[in-house]
């Protein structure tokens, strides 16, 4: 199974900050990497697919990069509605696996 490791597990940031979340795969997964946002009590929401493709309706302050084993989710100017938990997920093969999550909290 491909292990997905996110860092950090949590972070505190202020509105307007630039935030970077890393995701590392235990083996090469090309660009089969996706990012989700989950708010408390809600279903996950797909933000980015194929490492860098922003989904329709997702603000342009979100971006993704990387290929192979190392990937990054960047939020350029954190907004209040962005405080949530973010998960990466590999779609390279089954079992599909998620990172453990990164909780973005208000400083």
Among 38, 63, 65, 69, binds other proteins (CB under 8 A): 38
Asked if residue 101 binds other proteins (CB under 8 A), the reply is yes
Contact region with other proteins (CB under 8 A), list: 16-24, 35-43, 58-66, 73-81: 35-43
Q: DSSP of 21-86, one letter per residue?
A: EEEEESS--TT-EEEEEE-TTS--EEEEETTTEEPTTS-TTEEEEEETTEEEEEESS--GGG-SEE
Q: Is the CB of residue 27 less than 8 Å from the CB of residue 12?
A: no
Q: Name which position in 21, 23, 25, 34 contacts other proteins (CB under 8 A).
A: 34
**In the complex, what is the shortest distance from the CB of residue 38 to other proteins, in angstroms, rounded to a whole number?**
8
Going by C-alpha positions, the residue among 20, 18, 15 that lies closest to residue 7 is 20
Is 55 a binding residue for other proteins by CB under 8 A? The answer is yes
Which of 19, 21, 23, 49 contacts other proteins by CB under 8 A?
Answer: 49
Asked if 7 interacts with other proteins (CB under 8 A), we say no
């Amino acid at each position: 199974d491909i292990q997905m490791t996110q860092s950090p597990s949590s972070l505190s940031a202020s509105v307007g900050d630039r935030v970077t979340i890393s995701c590392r795969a235990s083996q090469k997964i090309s660009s089969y990497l996706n990012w989700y946002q989950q708010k408390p009590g809600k279903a996950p929401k797909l933000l980015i697919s194929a490492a860098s493709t922003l989904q329709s309706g997702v603000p342009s302050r979100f971006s993704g990069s990387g290929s192979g084993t190392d990937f990054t989710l960047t939020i350029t100017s954190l907004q209040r509605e962005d405080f949530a938990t973010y998960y990466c997920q590999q779609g390279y093969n089954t079992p599909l696996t998620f990172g453990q999550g990164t909780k973005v909290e208000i400083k």
